[in-house]
Amino acid sequence: MRIIAAAVLWGTAGTAGAFASAGSVSLAAARLVIGGSILALLFLRSRAFGRDLLLGAVCVAAYQLCYFAAVARTGVAIGTVVAIGSGPVFTGLLSWALDRTTPSARWLGGTLAAVAGCAVLVLGGGSEGGADPGGIGLALIGGLLYASYAVTAARAIDRGTPSDTVMGTMFGGAAVLMLPVLLLSGPGFLATPSGLLTALYLGAATTALAYVLYGRGLRTTPVATAATLALAEPAVAALLGVAVLGERLTPLSWAGLALLATSLIVVALPERRIPIGSAA
């Protein structure tokens, strides 16, 4: 499935980033500038410049800023769980509010279980961060921003705009917005071979290719389901951390990984969307 393939690529970002001597904000900005530029060069079409997609571009860039501001205040583990875990919930709510699409009970149960599994996986070994209210708030805003650009993309695709064009427009616009962040946060690491290769991989694979796959997956997958399936990202990141970086998972974290994997399988099973007012 394309959504899962995109999540697998996203999950490699943390491991790849460990090989570059760069700050997290600089690396994230470089990733988005490079990946967004690739998408724009390949797929951007002038007729796609609509207010919705430009707003989606703002949401893409703002998500990055909110996420890193959140983890700076509340720690990587808690910030990641709140931002990534709240994304599917906000996506389901936005999809219901804008398109009157009622999420199924199976989606709701699977999503709640997947979020719980994600939380146990990430926090199972303990967290050095604290539950800073401001950081939690920023992480929740990040989750809402993620949901906003996912729903924006899905609605544009449903209206007939090619998915590649949608991604080219949103991420090309986000690249322009993030360029000043890259310049101000310190692009010096790009002058080193390891830094440049890491940034190119993050931009080309974990952003450009991943969002091409994600956009094409949205052609046939309800956006709420896609957002839940994207929770495979922390699972892949955890497994790569064990296999490549020599990290260790506690038994509780392994249990969270198993719960997350099982829940994603449940959510991935085909289901039909039921508009409000239709017979069940």
Q: Report pTM.
A: 0.87
Task: For residue 49, name the pLDDT band (cuts at 50, 70, 90).
Answer: low
Task: For residue 277, name the pLDDT band (cuts at 50, 70, 90).
Answer: very low
Q: Does the pLDDT of residue 26 top 80, yes or no? A: yes
Nearest to 139 by CA among 119, 167, 153, 155: 119
What does the alpha-carbon distance between residue 255 and residue 260 come to, in Å, rounded to a whole number? 9
What does the alpha-carbon distance between residue 175 and residue 224 come to, in Å, rounded to a whole number? 25
Q: Does the pLDDT of residue 271 top 70, yes or no? A: no
With a pLDDT cut of 70, the percent of the chain lying above it is: 92
- Mean pLDDT, residues 44-49 taken together: 65
Q: What is the pLDDT of residue 184?
A: 94
76 or 56, which is more confident? 56
Handedness of CA 149, 154, 158, 162 (dihedral sign): positive
Q: Does the pLDDT of residue 70 top 50, yes or no? A: yes
Q: Are 224 and 98 in contact (CB under 8 A)?
A: no
Nearest to 59 by CA among 139, 180, 150, 137: 150
- Mean pLDDT, residues 132-145 taken together: 89
As given in the structure block, the two tokens for residue 108 are 């709701």
What does the alpha-carbon distance between residue 236 and residue 229 come to, in Å, rounded to a whole number? 12
What does the alpha-carbon distance between residue 144 and residue 219 come to, in Å, rounded to a whole number? 22
- Mean pLDDT, residues 130-141 taken together: 83
At 229, the amino acid letter reads L
- Mean pLDDT, residues 40-52 taken together: 77
At 160, the amino acid letter reads G
Task: For residue 78, name the pLDDT band (cuts at 50, 70, 90).
Answer: confident
- Mean pLDDT, residues 185-211 taken together: 94
Q: Write out pLDDT tens, residues 215-249.
A: 999 999 999 999 999 999 888 988 888 888 888 88
